[in-house]
Amino acid sequence: MNRFFRYILFGLLCALFLLPTDASAQRRGRRKKVAVVLSGGGAKGVAHVSALKVIEEAGIPIDIIVGTSMGSIVGGLYCSGYTTHQLDSIVRAQNWALLLTDGQERSQKSMYSRQLEDRYVVSATFDKSPFEVIEGGLLKGNNIGRFFSELTADHLDSMSYSKLPIPFACVATDIVSGNEIVMRSGILAESMRSSMAIPGVFPPIKKNGMVLVDGGLVNNYPVDVARRMGADVVIGVDVTDKHKTAEQINSTGEVLLRILDVICSNKYKENVEKTDVHINVNVNGYSSASFSKVAIDTLLERGNMAAREKWDELLSLKEHLGRIEPLAVRKPKILDADTVVTPVASIYNDHPNASFIGFGARFDNEELATLLLGGSYEFNHKRKARAGFELRLGKRMYGKLRFEFNPWGEWTIGARYQHTSNDTKVYNNGDHMATLDYYDESFRLSFRRSWHKMLVAFGADWNYSHYNNLLRQTDWIDFVQTRENDRSFSYFANIAFDSQDASVMPRRGMKWTLRYTLFTDNMHEYNGGLPLHIVEGYFEAALPVSRKFTLMPSVAGRLLPNRNTHLNNLNVIGGIDTYGHYMEHQIPFAGVNHIQIVPNNILVLGMRVRHNVTTNNYMFGIANYALAGNALEKIVTVNSTNMYGAAIGYGYKSPIGPIEFNLNWSNITESVGAFLNIGYMF
């Protein structure tokens, strides 16, 4: 009898072990393993955040997350402990235009750097050769690398991603072998950066003999990876564009994006079929580069809508998972305040490249098309020794060569040579009086100290002006009889301040400059007498009155002795933007679109009002009033020359700089003028 019961017991045990796996799992209370797969898609991938919120709300546990490109960023951060609410705040708060480029916040740049770089449409840094710009990628990804390092500061050591709060994997492409690389261990920030290294845009990550770029090239929607990791159920969030018709593919950019979609679609259809709940977000009208605030808000909302459309499917899936314990509320991730963030070396250069090359272009109806090419090369990092150049092509052409180094502390010694070719129309009382065809050669030796908001400089200038031709419309031009070539030596000191929050359409802050020049023709005299003392200054403030309305009062002045007979010293006004645009000391004045010669002493008051109609569109109005006289005391008497002008216009803040059109009038021209400008002023 005892033997009989032993046989029965043995048989029951065997039957238990031979039951199907799912049945045994259900008897033990094991539920099915859930994976969430997040596709690549650049900016469109911010929709993943709101889709994850809905999945959480449905009460579905997440056991694995697999992502590609932007999906790897959202997924990696979520798996490391960030809540969906934190991720929502992160994507909304970022200055993506700055984060995805190699630039610095304007407030973090030295004032001298801003003066050099604010005029370029595009610029790129490099280490040893400008060809690095096209070899690895247009952007270096330094800012995004530091950003990833800061957000994952508690996971900067190599580790298995199975040890994260939620196991994680992401996909990259090895362009050496052409293979798909699934990263399930390593440094989290480095893996995320590898997965989103778009070829030609961001440089690849080199690791263990591999050259890793965006995983979307081989697997943009990696459901198969989640299945191999043991997922029983897959929820996919897909921000892939729907196929466009031939009529919708028109521009070069659309062609290139479509080619990338074709390359990345090799596994897409198979992986969609392997998905249990496919959340396909409507991303029509947006691209991988749609990082504006409006676009991000819209994409987050569309992610929420797409997930809610699958609400019934999510609840049905939840019922078939097996016994589910109530989900614990995820606590916000808070990094220890004492955590020292050392950016991952493979994705962040601790010594940013100081060498750069830049290109600028602009058009206006006075000077027509103008191009600017410039750059700087640092050949001694310790002494910050660098050489630079700048070439301007247009009606006013110049070439500059400069050499600078820091022999001690933050003080810079600089030498600059400039050759300028001028074909300049000169006006008086609104009438075209002469056309000057001449070239200048100048050499400057300066000492400079630049902070974030302030610049102090002093030095000496040597200048030689050679006049090729002087075409007069009348006998007017009393400052020149028979114009001979001029040589001059001058000594200068200036201090400048700039706290404005933007170079174009500033909302707050101020900028001002004060300059003193001692002008001679032989290093110590002028025309056999005392040297000329020239004082000039400019002030402008940006005052936000409301969320969309900004006031910008300004004042400018220049005091020039009556003994001056030198052409390049004459006071001139003209243009509505940029102090020193036509000539180094030119003062902006609404209603005058050219170079207008004015008396020796002048004070100009101005007021600009700007209303932001939408994010990048604005209307503006400008009014100027000036007092002028050949003697200082005359500018405040009834004998002073009174000048006034105004302009009203529309502007658009574009990626290539401001596009502005205005209609203007002044009592100098006594006629309505129009001015169109496209691009940054230089």
How many Cβ atoms sit within 10 Å of the Cβ of residue 620?
20
Distance CA 398, CA 88 (A): 49
pLDDT at 232: 94
Which residues, given as ranges, of the chain have pLDDT below 70?
1-29, 102-108, 129-139, 242-266, 337-340, 349-354, 424, 426, 428-434, 436, 468-485, 631-640
pLDDT at 29: 56
Distance CA 477, CA 244 (A): 65
pLDDT at 45: 93
Distance CA 581, CA 592 (A): 13
Give me the torsion for CA of 147, 149, 151, 156, rounded to 10°.
170
pLDDT at 226: 96
pLDDT at 137: 61
Tell me the H-state helices in 58-128: 70-79, 84-93, 96-99, 111-117
pTM (two decimals): 0.72
210 pairs with which residues across the strands? 207
pLDDT at 28: 47
pLDDT at 556: 95
Asked if residues 639 and 620 have their Cβ atoms less than 8 Å apart, the reply is no
Residue 333 Cα distances to 6, 47, 62, 77, 99, angstroms: 56, 21, 17, 10, 22
